[in-house]
A and B are shown apart, each in its own frame.
Chain A
Amino acid sequence: MIPSREEMKQALTIRYGIKLPEKMAATRVAICGLGGLGSNIAIALARAGIGGLHLIDFDKVDLSNLNRQQYSVHQLGQYKTEALCESLKHIAPYCEVKIDTLCITKEHIPNLFKEETIICEAFDQPEAKAMLVEGVLETFPEKYLIAASGMAGIGSANSIQTKKISKHFYLCGDGVSDVSTGIGLLSSRVMVCAAHQANMVIRLIAGEIEP
């Protein structure tokens, strides 16, 4: 039996009061890339009562993703957008999830983020990260952008931070731990970074602009 929308809302209001859940419910966040960062950001925000998520990724769930990404074996071969959308329905049935199964290029940016005020960069490749950050900050300087760089390996979780680079641009991560050196990405440390991004989203929604 799925709880009613009112019951779900009430469960959040009991914990967080009236204001924050109302602000959360009125916000839609775009998540670019649904790997270790994006899938964890989406679930954290859905649990916190976000009103809508715009999930964007071109890829399918692969066995090599299961070490850190929030997918299950029964979802292998599915598009990540569709698989994550399905999982979110079980967690937050009234969260409005919009999906775009595409590989974001610079040309997509002006039309892709018209409805969101907060955008999370959660790509894997440094070229894609730089392209998205440059494109979003150029096209939508009024929107908030929360990007990530440096979360590979088993270095101290305490070295992962949220930094405010400029008025609307935040960067999470340790800045240096590259996936191409060392042992690659592990669920725990990627989750720390994703949690930083999700936490900054919630702080912005609550009106807190400091990292």
Chain B
Amino acid sequence: MVKINGQLLEVEGLTIAQYLESTSYKINHIAIERNGEIVPKGLYNQTILKADDVIEVVSFVGGG
């Protein structure tokens, strides 16, 4: 299981890019941390989610 924003999901084996395809996130509105380290967008295609990974998807809305 992979913990994404506090929720346990069965997504191990998927790349971050594949996981995101199953969500409604807008890619250019988000930043992703994996086990406390930022994952640059260029690596979404090659970063494979592993069991016990802790993922934070920070999604930004407009305004400031």
The residues of A that contact B36 with a CB separation of less than 8 Å are 166-167
B61 contacts which chain A residues (CB < 8 A)? 126, 149-150, 152, 175-179
Q: Which residue of B is nearest A184, CB measured?
A: B63
Segment at the A interface, from B10-18, B26-34, B45-53: B26-34
Structural contact, B58 and A171, CB atoms closer than 8 A:
yes
For this complex, into which size category does the number of interface residues on chain B fall? 10 to 19
Residues of A whose CB lies within 8 Å of any CB of B are 33, 35-38, 122-127, 129-131, 133-134, 137-138, 141, 147-152, 165-167, 169, 171, 175-180, 184-185, 190
- A151-B63, A169-B33, A175-B59 known, 15 other contacts, Cβ within 8 Å: A37-B64, A124-B62, A126-B29, A126-B60, A126-B61, A130-B28, A130-B31, A131-B28, A133-B60, A134-B31, A151-B64, A166-B33, A167-B36, A175-B61, A177-B63
Residues in chain B within 8 A of chain A (CB atoms): 26, 28-31, 33, 36-38, 40-41, 56, 58-64
